[in-house]
Amino acid sequence: MRKIRLLCLAAVCGHAMSAATPFEVVALVDSLDFANVYDIETATGTVQTLEHVLLTHPSTVLWRDKGGSLMRYPSAEEASPVGETPLDKRKLPRLSVYGNLRLERAEPDAFGIVRDVCARRGLVYGIHTTWEENHWLAYTESNWNVAHPQYMCRTRGGGPRLATASLAWPEVRAHKLRLVDERLALKPQVVFLDLHRNGGWHPGMEYVKPVIDRWRAKHGCEPPSDPRDPRWLALVSEDVMAYLRAFAAKCHAAGVEFHLGFKRLDLKDEALWREYAIDWKALAADGTLDAVVLMDLAYDPKRAYESTREILSYAKAKCGKARLYFHCSTYAMPNGIPGYVKATKKSDAAVACDLLRIAKETGCAGAYLECVDYRNYPPDVCDALANARKGVFPREPVRPPATGVSVALELPPGPNNPRNSEGAFMPLKDGRIMYVYSRYYGTSASDHATADLAARYSSDKGKTWSDTDETIVKNHGGMNVMSVSLLRLKSGEIALFYLLKNSTKDCRPLMRRSFDEGKTWSEPTCCITDDVGYYVLNNDRVIQLKSGRLLFAVSKHGFDGSKFDNLGRVTTFSSDDNGKTWQRGKSLLEVHDAKGTFKAAQEPGVVELKDGSILLWIRTNAGCQYMSRSTDGGVSWSTPEPSALVAPLSPATIKRLPTGDLLAVWNDHTKRPDEAKKGPSWAHGRRTPLTTAISRDEGHTWTHVRNLEDDPAGWYCYIALQPLDDGTALLGYCAYSGLAHTRLVKVPVDWFYGK
């Protein structure tokens, strides 16, 4: 069956398809949604409806077989009286229909028409069916269910769920499987069972005699009052899983694929079990499912794309041999394109491009369009779908940086590469520039996911970069290696610092050296040996003082054996023997706001000042960067105080330019200070814009404030900064897709001064 489907796709796409596995676009169609436009009770109206659906460029068309209480084909199981239907569709709001919409009549044969047109067009044809014999919560009067009230579902109190029948009764399962036979008689290539449209059914409606009797026999007591009790769910699941396996067996015996769709998947993966008592992973593993369709994701709107990628990657890893499909809906629901538009501030078309690309990169076989109504998929969204069919997945239509700033390299995520982030630059003696960054591999973009350190090179002062990655350090941590700093030591060699993340209890910086300009590296040495803990050293953070001392600042989480604490405290480490040994500073810095409330102290950095003192800055959730100073080479520090760099919970970077002035790069929220403080403690404002400012008084005041990037949908952070000898500076930073997409830019130093 799979071979047949791929041949159909190839016939449609022809030379436009890439050599890679085709990306499928599956259109769900409820002809009732077109009843106020076309006469869907006629062959002509059916063809007109289908032609409109084909504007979305589907590879597969799945025609709805029922809705409300009305079947869309002649059904012996759900026959209605000839003169009337239980629900008069003419009474639906804003719906002008033709006659009584007797779609269950033999003529015209809508399914035969759709099947023939799809065959001529080289498209896959199938049926979209729903969990109940209808899908409107208020209209659950399936004709068979109404005629058999003895099988009605019941709540814990014994009240009936009107016209919804329980699968615990053998008669109900037999009825539903006869309906499967009716659908297969319509000769589909695919049957899609939609759990999203379930008539309001859930395990709390299964307090019926067969289930109660089994409960009493197994547990010797009355059933639980809470239907979310795992034991109750397991009992209900026996009936539901048996029905799904029998459903799939009938499909497979007829050479038909069986797809299952459900909603609200998140990384906890509890919703389907709680709401349907279905173990979807078991069904995928044992071959019951040919495809899993995610009709809805419980993504985080504050990190919409990143969390979507994480959930899809999780689902793909659990799918077994079953294919995975992602929904692409234009319905005004949080999980549809409009929800992502609200979260990202992008256009419908831009969101569609992003979601389709993320779906492809996470291993999805295609996208389900739920549902295709009259003109609900705009032309530019249809264009994105057409490109996806051709294997073309344009990168995010990201906004360019400010005028005068040149984009030198984009490092977006890709297949088996969900994230590129946190890097540092190093000018080499042969004139090239090396950029080393955290290159994640596998399926997850989480901070704790697998990553190597990779490098790109430029031979023209950062204007262009090599096309392929060179692995500098392979992952040798329990989780990953990440967060790079590069430093040219006064002794001439290059020092490479990075985090070795073994667990949430062991994350510490390591140091390697290269005496041949990055061709080879020494074995690593640990910079923190007096304690094992979770220490965060940000990228591009290690410095060497005029005295020769090496110095860096870190934030430690989970002190004194306590549970993991995101807030953190800051301390410093220094070395006076070129990194052979390291000493802990005397100060342990905490951040408190004006009211004395303990706040986050994270991702610090240090810069040496002209008088030999040192400035330290700290990322906080107190509305700005906090700063501290040291006059003894970084051994002890002043109490952190708020600075003029108003910011969300996001790291900053401060370095000295060849002009002698300090340059700060951060997310300036001066014009929206309330946003820097609102929301949950770990989501204080978006990391946009990306702003630069100059200080001529060693960090006391800042002028020439300019936005380098200002896309509202951007996510700018983890900056690497490298001034060059040609009057420019290179910056590398996360730009889009959460932390997944890194951008390198080349900026004239004069630009920072507004020249």
Paired sense of beta strands 366-369 and 323-327, if any:
parallel
pLDDT > 70 fraction of the chain, expressed in percent and rounded: 88
Q: Residue 693 corresponds to which tokens in the numbers above?
A: 């400012």
Same fold flag, 2-389 and 406-752: no
Residues 582-604: pLDDT tens digits?
999 999 999 999 999 999 999 99
Rounded CA gap, 123 and 371, in Å? Answer: 18
Q: Taking Cα atoms as reference points, which of 409, 297, 403, 410 lies closest to residue 359?
A: 297
- List of long-range contacts for 710-713, beta carbons under 8 Å, 24+ apart: 710/399, 710/402, 711/398, 711/399, 712/345, 712/686, 712/688, 713/344, 713/345, 713/346, 713/399, 713/688
Task: Look at residue 147 in the predicted model and tell me its pLDDT.
Answer: 83
**pLDDT at 678 > cutoff 60:** no
User: What confidence category does residue 139 fall into, taking pLDDT thresholds of 50, 70 and 90?
Assistant: very low
Give yes or no for a contact between 152 and 172, defined as CB atoms under 8 angstroms apart. Answer: no
Q: What residues pair up with 508 in beta bridges, in sequence order?
A: 500
- Per the prediction, the chain carries an average pLDDT of 88
Mean pLDDT confidence for 617-621: 96
Sign of CA dihedral 234, 237, 239, 244: negative
Task: Look at residue 13 in the predicted model and tell me its pLDDT.
Answer: 30
Rounded CA gap, 47 and 37, in Å? Answer: 12
Look up residue 426 and give its amino acid.
M
Residue with tokens 């009240």: 159
Question: Which is more confident, 683 or 713?
Answer: 713
**pLDDT at 87 > cutoff 50:** no
Give yes or no for a contact between 277 and 167, defined as CB atoms under 8 angstroms apart. Answer: no
Rounded CA gap, 419 and 450, in Å? Answer: 10
* CB proximity list for 301: less than 8 A, separation 6 or greater: 334, 339, 342, 343
Name the architecture of domain 406-752.
6 Propeller (2.120)
Task: Look at residue 84 in the predicted model and tell me its pLDDT.
Answer: 46
Rounded CA gap, 712 and 674, in Å? Answer: 16
Residue with tokens 């390198």: 744
Residues 202-248: pLDDT tens digits?
899 999 999 999 999 999 999 999 999 999 999 999 999 999 999 99
| Dihedral, 676, 680, 682, 688 alpha carbons, nearest 10 | -40
Rounded CA gap, 414 and 396, in Å? Answer: 12
* CB proximity list for 323: less than 8 A, separation 6 or greater: 290, 291, 292, 364, 365, 366
List strand residue ranges (DSSP E) for 59-150, in order: 60-64, 66-67, 70-71, 124-130
Mean pLDDT confidence for 335-361: 88
- List of long-range contacts for 470-473, beta carbons under 8 Å, 24+ apart: 471/439, 472/436, 472/496, 472/518, 472/521, 473/498, 473/512, 473/521
For every residue of 331-391, DSSP letters joined together read SSSTTSHHHHHHHH---HHHHHHHHHHHHHHTT--EEEES---TT-S-HHHHHHHHHHHTT
* CB proximity list for 674: less than 8 A, separation 6 or greater: none
Task: Look at residue 453 in the predicted model and tell me its pLDDT.
Answer: 98
Residues 180-200: pLDDT tens digits?
999 999 999 999 999 888 777
Structural class in CATH, domain 2-389: alpha beta
* CB proximity list for 34: less than 8 A, separation 6 or greater: 40, 45, 48, 49, 52, 373, 374
Mean pLDDT confidence for 687-711: 96
Residues 255-266: pLDDT tens digits?
999 999 988 888
25-34, 77-86, 514-523: least confidently modelled range: 77-86
Residues 622-677: pLDDT tens digits?
999 999 999 999 999 999 999 999 999 999 999 999 999 999 999 999 987 565 45
Give yes or no for a contact between 300 and 267, defined as CB atoms under 8 angstroms apart. Answer: no
Rounded CA gap, 142 and 453, in Å? Answer: 59
Question: Which is more confident, 299 or 380?
Answer: 299
The CA-based angle 670-671-675, given to 5 degrees, is 85
Residues 365-385: pLDDT tens digits?
999 998 899 999 998 899 889
Domain positions in the chain: 2-389, 406-752
Q: What residues pair up with 317 in beta bridges, in sequence order?
A: none
Task: Look at residue 17 in the predicted model and tell me its pLDDT.
Answer: 26
